[in-house]
Every structure is written in C-alpha cells, then in structure tokens.
Chains A and B, each alone.
Chain A
C-alpha cells in the first residue's frame, strides 16, 4: 500500500517535471544564496583563524622601553601561561635594491625554531643563514629572489648598532600574520611611512637586549580567536601580564640604573679632571698676559729711544749740511783770496812800473773784494776781510805814503791769513767727516733697533693671539664642563624619568587595528548577509507554498479517489508532503553545495583587496545547511500538508467532482464607470484577471519587487561607493594638489617652496593651511578622530574647498563664530547646527555649519577660532593647497618642488581616490553576485508563477484558441497581466530598493567614509530595465509553452 503511494509520488514527479524542477530550483537558489552569503563572514573568520593559528600569531606582544633581557623572558616563562615565548628584535631601517629606491622597512628577527609569527611563504624560502633576508610580498615587485639588497639606518645611527651587515640576499617573499591589512604602520624615520617588513636571522642583530617579546598562550590553543571565549582568555591574561609587567620592569630598571650610574660616575670623574686642567690653563694664561704687558712696555720705551735718536740724527745732519756749506764757502773764499793775492802780487811786481796803473788795479781788486762775499765764511775770514778792506783804504792813503814794502807786507799778511784759513778749513773738513761718520753709525743703529722692535711687536701679537686662543679654549672648556655637568644632571634626571616612568607595553591582537577591522568587516558581510538571503528564502518559501497548494488543488480528484478507496488521511497527505520533500531536500543540498563553495570565495576575493589573508576555507556548514533545508522543507511540506488537509476535509464525492472554478467578481475599478467604460475590452479582462488571483498577484509583485530592489541596491551601492571619489575630489575639494610641508621649517623655507612652484608657471593659486588630527566629541557621543583644517585666509578657502550643504547645495561660509564639520562626523556625533562639539576633550565650539563630505572626517575653523579654542600647539600651517593651470603637468610640478627639503609629500586630487578605487573594484564583484542572484530570483519567480497561471487557466486559454485567437493574441492575453504585474512589482521594488540600499549602506559604511545617500536616476532605470528584461525573458520562454497548448483540452471535462 505504501509502495503504491511512493510509486504514485514518483510518477507525479515524472509527470510534473517542470513543476518539480521549479520547486527544486527555487529552493536551491534560496538555500544556496542564503547559506553562501551567510557563511561568507564566518568562513572569512574561520580562514583567518586557521591561517593565524598555522602561522602562530602571538596572542600577546610585549615591548619595553628599557628593552628585554633573558631574565625577563625566563620570568615570563615562569608565569606558566604560555606554551611558547619568542623574544626577538625589530628595527626600522631603510632598504634599497638594485632596481628599487630606498624604502622604509620594519626589520624583524627570525628564529627558525620559533613557531610564533611565522610568515606564510608565497615564494622562495625563509632565511636560514646570516646574510639572507625574507621580504614582505607587497614591498616591491622589482626586488627578485636572489637579488642583493642594501640596508642602512634612516636616522644617522650606526647600522652596526642594529645589525651586523648591510648587504643581504633575498631568499623568499611572503605574507606575515602580524600584518592583516596592507597598512604597514608608521615610524619616526624618513617620510614616516613603513612600506613593508623584512626578516633576517636573529643572529644578525647586534642589539644587546631584545626589543620585543611575543607570547603564545597555552590556554588559547585551538580557541577561535573571534569568539568571546578567546576574548575572556585574553582579558584574563592581560591582567596577569600587566601585573607581571609592572613587577618585571623593575629588573631592567635595576640593570639600567647600575649601568647608567657607572657611566655617570665616570663622567663626573672626567669632569673633575677637566676642571683641574682648566684651572692650570687659566693660571698659565694669566702669566702669559703679564709677560706680554711687560714686553709691550719695553717696546714702548725702545720706540721712544729710537725717536729721540732719530731726532738727534736729524739735527746732526742739519748741522753737517750747514758745516759743509760753510766749508765750501770757506774754500771758495780761500781761492778768491789766493787770486787776490796773486793779483796783488802782480800789482806789486808792476807797482814799480806803474803806480797809477796799480792803484787802478788795486781799486778794481778792492771793488772785486767788495763784491765778494767773504763774510759768511767764518770769523777768521771775516777778520781777514776786514783786514783786507782796510788795504785799499790804507792803500789809498798809502799810495801816497805806503811803499811797496808795505804792500808786500800786506800781501804776506794776506798769505798768512790764507794759510790760517786753509788750516781752519782742513780742521773743519776733518770735523765734518767725523760728524758724517757718526750720523751714519747712528742711523745704522736706529735701523737695527727698529728691526728689533718690530720683531718684538710681532712676537707680542703672536703671544696675544695665543692668549686669545687660550682664553677661547678656556671658555670653551668651561662651557664644556658646564655642558658636561648639565649632561650629567640631565642624564641623571632622564635616567630617573625614564626609569621611573618606564614600563612594559602589553599588546593583545586587537591592538593591531587591521586585525580588529578584519573581524568588523566579517561582521559587516554577515550583516548584509542577513538582509539579502532572508529576503531570498522568504520569496522562495512563498513561491513554493503557492506551487504546492496549486498542485494539491489540481489533484483533488485523485485525492478524492484515494480517499474513496479507503486510504488514510495520513497516507494521502504524506504523499504530497513526500513530493514536497523530494523536491526540497535535493534542491536545498544542491543549492547549499553551490552556495557554500562559490559565494564565500567570491566575497573573500573582494576582501583580499584589503587584507592579506592568503586562502579561504569553505567548509560545508551543517548548521546552516540543516537550517536551510529544514526551512525549505517546512515551507513546502507544511504548505503541502495544509493544502491537502484542506482538500481532505471535503468528502470524497465532492472531491471527485470538479472544483467549482473561482467565481468572477466585479472589481473596484468597475464602480468608477467613466474610467471602466473607456477601457478597451482586453484591458478590462486584464484588470479582472489581475484581481481574480490575489495571492498570485501578491506573490508575483513581491518576487519582482525583490528582484528590482536587489538590483537597485546593487547599482545604488556601486554608485554610492564609486561616486564619492569624484564628489569629494571634484565637487568639494577644488584644489588640484596638496603639498605637505615640514612644519619645523621657517618662513623662508616656505617661501622657497612657493618660489619653486611659481617658477614653473603652472600653479594658478595657492594657500597655506594647517591640518592636524584632532579628537572630536559631543555631549552625547564617543570621541572620533577627524582632520582639523585651518586656512591661512578664511575668505580664500572657497577657492580651494567648496563648503556647502549637501541637499540645498547652499554654500557655507567659515566664520570666527564656530566650526564647520563634515556631514558624517556630524551624524556620528549626533549634532546639528548650533550644537557644541568638543575638541581633544576640552574645548567646546559651536557648530555653525555642516558641509557635504565623503572621505575622512574634516572639521574647518578659522585661525581666530583656533586661537580661542586653546589647543596645545600654536597655529602653524603645514600644508599648501594648490590649483594648477594645467593638471596634466603634475609631473612637472612634482619635479620642481620635490627636491626642496621642506616639501614632505605631494598628492594630487586626480589620484586622491586611489585608495578607494581598490574598495570599489572589490565591491563590484559583490554587485555582480547580487545582479546574478536577482536575475535568477526574478526568472524563477516569474516563470513559476506564470506557469501556475497557465496551468490554472489552460482550459480558458484553449478555449480562446478555439475561438480563433492568434498565438500572439493568446500570449498577449496572458502577458498583459504579467506586464502589469511586472510593472507593479518593479515600482514597488524601486521603493523597497531605496530602503534596502540605505540599510545596506548604513551597515557597510565605516566611520571615516560617507557613501552617497542619493541614488541617481540611471540606477533606477538600470534596475527597472534589467527587471523588465528578465521578465521579458520569462515571457519569451512562456510563449512557446502557450503555443503548445492543445485546443482539444477545451473539449475535455473539467478535472
């Protein structure tokens, strides 16, 4: 008996293949989509957990300001909470290769025996020997395995203090479990951005103490790291470790204090020596100074003596010159006298002959003598002359009286005079010569003394220089000593500060933001997963219900027959339930298999653009599977059960008679006769039919609406994400480039940057702004991080950043009254215009405007507001906003300014969205999934419902065929209803889609991003058109079914 029923069930499966397959397909799509999307989040978490477990990501990472030594490690081991502890080194260094510029790299030590934080090797192998390096896969494509890379320190420290060598051979590349996302963190060297990590053997490090300690908890082994159990373990062990850390820090404190004091004492002793030396030097210096002073006095005296001697010599020279003149005069006088004497002699000789004549000659001679200048020669000569003068007179008188004898006497007297004069002259000559000699000697002596003095002076100058140098040295030495003292004091203070404040940092995994973000993203996928698939399974369930109900209704005669034959209700019901289960269970499992294996990997692939998780595990999740299949079975089974039960209430006789067809009814529209009258006949029929089968109408509308809503959500989501880049960097940020400046540079350095820029001629406008990260909070909210932007000139800001309200697009002006904040941060803070916000947990400012903003959270205020707000730092512009005349010349601008040390970075608006483009490309895959799923949904729902529609009305359709309706007309007769339903569903779907899209966006949005909330018209159009396309596709397939309807059906009795 049972077998017959089973056979019958199998037969009916065979006979109603299309219905059976439809149910299976709907169940498969529903289950597959639900399970696939729903398991994506957990699968991603599971994969991450598996990967992290395999790579042995440490549960705790401990760093100490004082470093860690072996004693610390063994003390930590002694806690007994760990199954492994690895203490190692890390350092930020610069790494460069043959074909690669230097990049900042975080260098870690690697110990092959340790199971903690093992990298996942994607290429090559791990380092084994000294000189081998293993690189971050994302660091560079230009560095190949086998290449040699060079490392150096970035801050001028000695490389040998960190590692033993500077050249390494690349042996492999991979992914590190420590870095979950592609963010590699920041550092204090270079431009501050770490590009990647690298591993070298532990032994290559030359650090004296460990920098890091990693702990793997024994308790956490095999515990899902995303579970609350893990959280409990971590929080419990955090307490243990923190308490331990506070205690253990004392160990290093002690060691360091001892070492430091040793050093300080050495320094102090050195200082003491220095002081002594200084005192000696100072004494020497004083002595030297005194000597110099003495010497200077001596020189002064010498100089005076020389001056006196020189004056004397000058006098002597003058006298000598006078003497010479006199002497020469004397010589000349002597000659003249001799001539006179000679002439007089001649006179005497001629005297006898001519006295008169002689008298004349004598006169002449006298005249001549008168004219001669004998007086100046000397006294002797004077006397001579006076004597001589008397001669003529005597002669005059004597001519008469004087004899020749007298004259001769006179001449001899003159001759005597001459010899006297000669003697005098000779002695004068001798005297003069002596004097000359003396002068020459004196001069020579003076010359000598002068030389001596200048030498002495030079010596003194040298000595002074020496002393000056010495003094400087002494001052320097004093400064040094003072510095040394200060240093020692500082060192002591620092030591105390450092040591007193020094502590261990105990980081758990959540400290790594990308680690927790991954979990959040998984949860986000899960959240989206909750919306879509439930929707799917709902539709699937509804469709299955109608289908099953319809089937049971169709077979009422069979039910009646079976009942009349005496089959129990249970047997009859179980037959239909069996049919339902036969479709649902395989359908469900087929869907699950496809869903589990396709959707999580697809969604995972999207997220791989943001996280370095090398693989995904897709287990068959029995909990979801059973849940899904059970739900599906419930939907189909229960509807089969209820439908057949309902039928079974009737007595067999009734059942075997055809069920009276559903009565025609007037519809509401007919009451509005002025519309109804104007409608075409066919339209009227369509309307009637629409409202005749309300359940089907409802189902179809829901199905189509779901499809449209999903599509709209997909497209809307795509727009919401892709458009923000253009909006942010087009509508809001009007600047073409932003240049980060070193804010420690002075104004001149800033001016040199603008100068460099202006010289290119491609910068049309520029403005300095200050940008810094602030914490912002409101009365009601937590604090959020935001960028504070203060323009140099608030009036010019609008040229660079267009602050406006999103909906009205009304511009917002920055004033001194308060701040303008971005829309997203306003929403997060729950503030509106007029409310107060707090900066860095202290300074309340009024919100004067809320501006459209998409990426990151920006807050704008004027310099005056900034000054009033009481920030710790004073205002100093650190960015330069640039507008360019030609944005295609970015390279030109870059090359013009990048060499300037003040320029830290240049970023262009045209490239501003690069970060988001990754995100976008990853999401487009999800959107494809949505579209395909929506299409499948639309197709299955429409096809199934239309199928039911046709089956139910097959007699009617056969009749109108007999009446002579062409194929097209028959199709139109059915299609009109489908079209109207499709339109209704599409419209409803667009409405539903707006809501769904908003919901999904709200779920998917992160704090620092606001997605576009409006959905552009083309998204509506796309969603609607695609839905209509799906509907069209269904109707085309239906057309062939309609063509096949046999007119003879119309002749048969009603079943």
Chain B
C-alpha cells in the first residue's frame, strides 16, 4: 500500500444553483520518500487536492489515506492534530509572521509539536545559520522561503507540502529552493509534494501527477529524476 493514496476523491462547491466539482474523482498514490510534483494549469484543481491532503479541507466523497489512516474521515480536531504532527507546509508567499525572527518563526511550529527538531539546527540545515535572529523583512525572498521550509521541517512531518514554493521567487532563487527541497527528500527520506503550474520542473520529480479539469489526467513515474541544477526553464 502506498504511503499516500487518493481514492475517488470528490470535492464539490455549490455556487448558487450550480455545483462545481473542484475534485472530480481524483485517484493517485505517492510512495514514502518520494519527491512528487502535482502539476496543472491555474484552476485545474491542484490547490483543492493540496488542501485536502494537507488537512485544511475535507472531501465530499472518497478516501484520502496517509500512512494508512483515512484523513477524509478525520474530525476537525484530528485534522488539526494531523496538520500539527504529520504535515509540513511551505507557502507560496512564505507566510512568515513578520513580527517574529527567523528562529521564532520556526519555533512557532516546534512549540506545538511533540518530536520537533531544534529550531536553530534546522535553520542551519537550510543554510540560514547566520540569519537566525533576523526578522523576515530583513531577509530576501529566498531566505524567507528557507525559513518557511525550516519551519515545516522542524516538525519532522510525514509529508512536506509545498504550494508553488518558487512562485514568488526569481529563477535562481527558485532553483536553490527546489534544490533544498530535493536534497531534503533525498537526505532525510522525506516525502515531498510540490504543487506547481511549472511543467519544467517535472523532470526532477520521482512522480508527476498531472491534474486537468479537476481530474488526474496522467501520473508519470520518473525512474531517473534529474538534479535541479540541470533543469532550465
């Protein structure tokens, strides 16, 4: 059994008279330790998948299995615990608390997590050993995203979910961030799910899940994923 499994997942939104299915029978699997990329155009339904996978939203139908447990059947509280313990989230706009230093932003996560990694240690791992005590405003976009990643990693999550992690970054910085994510996956055996509209980065993934019109249109397994460095877009 796969580590992550979507089985016939439906998510529908009612817009007045019309019902729009944001997820229209989604099926896919991700194995443990894989670097998976969910790719699709804007409005294809990537974010809905991410929300459901991240325990931020529920599905109307189907099963979402993560490490053998059906997330779709979680209560609100279990969902929160799931986010708290099992999920690390990296946002497109970093979502750092502006009023907290880099270290404190990481601590915001470790505070609530039972088997958290030391905040400074994680920051050093993401290459911000020198900027621990800087406020987000004093950091560049890439550095901020690193803090964001550190915050997600510090919890030692089962899943690292990244929503357009390079979306707000320039090309080179975006690359280094992807590299960091790939390295984390390889070195720590972390299951990483990256959501992006950027088709170009698919070669670096172990598994590519293409979403189109709220459905999984194609799942590609990449036996020889390339390093980020070799990818150009």
Binding site for B on A (CB under 8 A): 660-665, 681-682, 684-685, 688-689, 692, 955-956, 959-967, 969, 1047-1048, 1050-1051, 1053-1054
Please state if B99 and A664 are interface contacts (CB–CB under 8 Å): yes
Known A663-B137, A681-B104, A1054-B93: A963·B57 in contact at CB below 8 Å = no
**Complex Cα distance A967/B81, Å?**
11
Please state if A963 and B107 are interface contacts (CB–CB under 8 Å): no
Known A964-B80, A1051-B163: A685·B95 in contact at CB below 8 Å = no
**Complex Cα distance A1048/B46, Å?**
13
Partner of A664, one of B83, B84, B93, B100: B100
Contacts of B85 in A (CB 8 A): 964
Chain A min CB distance to B233 (Å) = 21
Contacts of A689 in B (CB 8 A): 99
The 5 nearest A-B residue pairs measured at CB: A964-B84, A664-B135, A663-B137, A964-B83, A959-B95
Contacts of B57 in A (CB 8 A): 1047-1048
Please state if A955 and B111 are interface contacts (CB–CB under 8 Å): no
Partner of B54, one of A660, A962, A965: A962
B56 contacts partner chain A, Cβ-Cβ < 8 Å: yes
Contacts of B107 in A (CB 8 A): 681
Query: Taking CB as reference atom, which chain A residue is nearest B164?
Result: A1051
Partner of B91, one of A663, A969, A1051: A1051
Please state if A664 and B95 are interface contacts (CB–CB under 8 Å): no
Chain A min CB distance to B134 (Å) = 9
Partner of B83, one of A956, A963, A1048, A1051: A963
Contacts of A965 in B (CB 8 A): 80, 84, 112
B109 contacts partner chain A, Cβ-Cβ < 8 Å: yes
Contacts of B136 in A (CB 8 A): 664
Query: Taking CB as reference atom, which chain B residue is nearest A693?
Result: B99
B140 contacts partner chain A, Cβ-Cβ < 8 Å: no
Please state if B112 and A969 are interface contacts (CB–CB under 8 Å): yes
Please state if B101 and A681 are interface contacts (CB–CB under 8 Å): no
Partner of B56, one of A661, A955, A962, A1054: A962
20 residue pairs A–B, Cβ–Cβ below 8 Å: A661-B137, A662-B98, A663-B98, A663-B137, A664-B99, A664-B101, A681-B104, A685-B108, A688-B99, A961-B80, A962-B56, A962-B91, A963-B89, A964-B84, A964-B85, A964-B113, A965-B80, A1047-B57, A1048-B57, A1051-B51
Chain B min CB distance to A1052 (Å) = 8
Contacts of B98 in A (CB 8 A): 661-664, 956
Q: Mask for B52-88, Cβ within 8 A of A = 1, else 0?
A: 0010110000000000000000000100111111010
Q: Mask for B98-137, Cβ within 8 A of A = 1, else 0?
A: 1111001001110111000000000000000000000111
Q: A685-B108, A1051-B92, A1053-B92 are in contact. List 12 more A-B contacts (CB 8 A).
A: A664-B101, A685-B104, A688-B100, A955-B95, A956-B98, A960-B108, A961-B80, A962-B54, A962-B91, A963-B83, A964-B85, A964-B113
**Complex Cα distance A128/B175, Å?**
108
Contacts of A1047 in B (CB 8 A): 51, 56-57
Known A681-B104, A1048-B57, A1050-B91: A963·B109 in contact at CB below 8 Å = yes
Contacts of B77 in A (CB 8 A): 966
Q: Mask for B126-152, Cβ within 8 A of A = 1, else 0?
A: 000000000111100000000000010
Contacts of B202 in A (CB 8 A): none
Contacts of A665 in B (CB 8 A): 99, 135
Contacts of A959 in B (CB 8 A): 91, 95, 97
B47 contacts partner chain A, Cβ-Cβ < 8 Å: yes
Most buried by B among A660, A688, A963, A1054: A963
Please state if A962 and B100 are interface contacts (CB–CB under 8 Å): no
**Count class of interface residues, chain B:** 35 or more
**Complex Cα distance A963/B87, Å?**
8
Contacts of B50 in A (CB 8 A): 1051
Contacts of A660 in B (CB 8 A): 137
Contacts of B81 in A (CB 8 A): 964
Chain A min CB distance to B43 (Å) = 14
Please state if A1048 and B95 are interface contacts (CB–CB under 8 Å): no
Please state if B84 and A684 are interface contacts (CB–CB under 8 Å): no
Please state if B135 and A1048 are interface contacts (CB–CB under 8 Å): no
Query: Taking CB as reference atom, which chain A residue is nearest B88?
Result: A963
Contacts of A1053 in B (CB 8 A): 92-93
Query: Taking CB as reference atom, which chain B residue is nearest A1052?
Result: B93
Contacts of A967 in B (CB 8 A): 80
Chain A min CB distance to B93 (Å) = 6
Please state if B93 and A685 are interface contacts (CB–CB under 8 Å): no
Query: Taking CB as reference atom, which chain B residue is nearest A963?
Result: B109
Contacts of B92 in A (CB 8 A): 1051, 1053
Chain A min CB distance to B46 (Å) = 11
**Complex Cα distance A877/B163, Å?**
98
Contacts of B97 in A (CB 8 A): 664, 685, 956, 959-960
Contacts of A1048 in B (CB 8 A): 47, 51, 56-57
Query: Taking CB as reference atom, which chain B residue is nearest A1050?
Result: B95
Contacts of B163 in A (CB 8 A): 1051
**Complex Cα distance A345/B80, Å?**
195
Q: Mask for B21-33, Cβ within 8 A of A = 1, else 0?
A: 0000000000000
Query: Taking CB as reference atom, which chain B residue is nearest A688?
Result: B99
Contacts of B108 in A (CB 8 A): 681, 685, 960, 963
**Complex Cα distance A1053/B151, Å?**
20
Known A1048-B56, A1050-B95: A966·B101 in contact at CB below 8 Å = no
Chain A min CB distance to B225 (Å) = 26
**Complex Cα distance A967/B151, Å?**
20
Contacts of A682 in B (CB 8 A): 111
Partner of A684, one of B95, B104, B109, B137: B104
**Complex Cα distance A962/B93, Å?**
14
Query: Taking CB as reference atom, which chain B residue is nearest A692?
Result: B99
Please state if B137 and A963 are interface contacts (CB–CB under 8 Å): no
**Complex Cα distance A963/B100, Å?**
15
